[in-house]
Amino acid sequence: MSNDADQRPPSVDRLARSLSESGLPHPILVDIARDAIAAGDADSAIARSEQFARRLLRPVINATGVLLHTNLGRAPWATTHPASSFNVELDLETGERGSRHDHAAALIARCAGAESAIIVNNCAAAVLLVLAAHGAGREVLVSRGELVEIGGGFRVPEVMEQSGARLVEVGTTNRTRLSDYTAALDAPGADVALAMHVHQSNYRITGFTEAPSISEIASLRVPLIADIGSGLLDAACPWLKDGPPAWLRDEPAAQQTLASGAELITFSGDKLLGGPQAGIIAGAANAVAECARHPLARAMRSGDLILSSLQELALTYLRRDGAAIPFWRQATLPIGSLNRRAELLSATVSGVDVTECSSVPGGGTLPGVEIPSVGLAVRGDMRSRLRETSTPIIARVVAIDGVDHTVCDLRTVEPDDDDQLAEALAMVL
């Protein structure tokens, strides 16, 4: 670019055209060329275009051992679909307008043991919609121990405020009794619409604590809504051959929460449910219908790609085929199979050691839970170099015997990606 016949800055357009091999669209290349010239460094344009391409959304290999990694889109789930129209709101039998809640949402309701369900953009939207539809202008009782913030700015008091419902705090941070709820219900001038139970998800209060059970709160004279968060459908996990893993412990489940008397529950699609980003409102048909009729429902509804994805997931649950749900498959991989993969990989790449490590559920669920796992370790911090490979690999650094190692936890790596992982490790070593 800098020949002395031309002392003027190179033409933006000419520079942009010289970058066409990057495959990026011309208007983007024009922006890049303009920035490079403005920075007085036209030669940087190639590096800038490469950097731009690398920043685009792309599949990555999650070798962090965090099963639901919020920065990596939580649960892994297949999304490829040929271009197609869907009968989202068309009744194929009558040819009349149908309801977008008839397929995926109805099947999720079936899985959750609910009369009815609707699907919205995420769990935050589900909670906001439930509160707006059932609590706006009135009071909602929440225990002070449940006024939580969940990663990414979901704060119960703020969501409540946005919904137009008035938060009435009951009890204390560590101890709340049923009598705290009844006192608020019976307070002079009280106008309580609902009691709300929020799963603490990402933290625990231990020690001198007390909280009424779901069925006790549900026995009050106002309906109970329960934000269970993670979308575990049934505590018995009938989709898992060996039943519920020990680490699920006290995680609230949809079926049991509804059976205990909650009128509505809300949960995410991409945590323990293992699907795409979505929020589900499930429970009593009338109460769900009221949410669906609220004007906000239109602003929060999911489209055909998400709905068809969740329909497939629901059918998979109903077939009790947990092995076909990537999250559950990864979460329950036995150590033996991880060890075999690790031995094979470490034999093909020299400088790679097999190491024991711990996976975690992540995604703001099950704090403190560690699932024994097996990883590949290489000396030093190779994270940034592993991110530069064609399918970026996201790993973590762990001190082993006091020396920093980069560890790739095989539990969260799909076996189909093992070869790519081996290639990448061979390359960075």
Which helix (H) or strand (E) covers residue 338, if one does?
Answer: helix 335-348
218, 224 contact by CB (below 8 A): yes
Place of tokens 């329950």: 332
In Å, what is the CA distance from 113 to each residue of 307, 373, 420? Answer: 19, 33, 41
Residue 278 C-beta: closest distance to ligand PLP, Å: 8
Q: Which amino acid is at 380?
A: G
Alpha helices in 117-219 (DSSP H): 123-135, 156-163, 178-186, 214-218
Checking phi first, is residue 40 left (phi over 0); if not, alpha (psi -120 to 50) or beta?
A: left
Q: How distant, in Å, are the alpha carbons of 233, 239, 246, 256, 313 from that of 320?
A: 12, 4, 19, 18, 11
Q: Give CA–CA dist 119/63, Å, rounded.
A: 30
Measuring CA to CA, which residue among 152, 127, 75, 79 is closest to residue 362? 75
Which of residues 156 and 374 has its CB atom nearest to ligand PLP in the complex? Answer: 156
**For residues 154 and 317, which CB has a smaller minimum distance to ligand PLP in the complex?**
154
Transcribe 231-242 into DSSP letters.
Answer: ----TT-TTSTT
Task: Provide the b/e sequence for 53-90 (b: ≥16 CB within 10 Å).
Answer: eeeeeeebbbbbbbbbbeebbbbbbeeeeeeeeeebee
Q: Which residue in 318, 300, 307 sits closest to 255, CA to CA?
A: 318
Residue at shortest CB range from ligand PLP: 229
Q: Which is nearer to ligand PLP, 69 or 199 (CB)?
A: 199
| Eight-state DSSP code of residue 219 | T
8 Å CB contact between 269 and 119: yes
Rounded distance between C-alpha atoms, residue 311 and residue 106, angstroms? 9
* CA angle, 108 then 85 then 267, to 5°: 25
If the CB atoms of residues 227 and 417 are measured against ligand PLP, the closer one turns out to be: 227
What's the closest the beta carbon of residue 231 comes to ligand PLP, in angstroms?
A: 9
User: What phi and psi values does residue 335 have, to the nearest 5 degrees?
Assistant: -55, -35
Q: How many residues does the structure list for the chain?
A: 429
What minimum distance in Å lies between the beta carbon of 205 and ligand PLP? 15
Task: Indicate the residue among 230 and 373 with the shorter CB distance to ligand PLP.
Answer: 230
Q: Is the Cα dihedral 21, 24, 29, 35 positive or negative? A: negative
Positions touching ligand PLP (CB under 6 A) are: 122-124, 127, 150, 154, 198-199, 201, 227, 229-230, 268, 279, 364
Residue number with CB closer to ligand PLP (267 or 417): 267
Task: Give just the sign of the alpha carbon dihedral 389, 394, 397, 398.
Answer: negative
| Distance in Å, CB of 125 to ligand PLP, minimum | 7
Q: Indicate the DSSP class of residue 149.
A: E
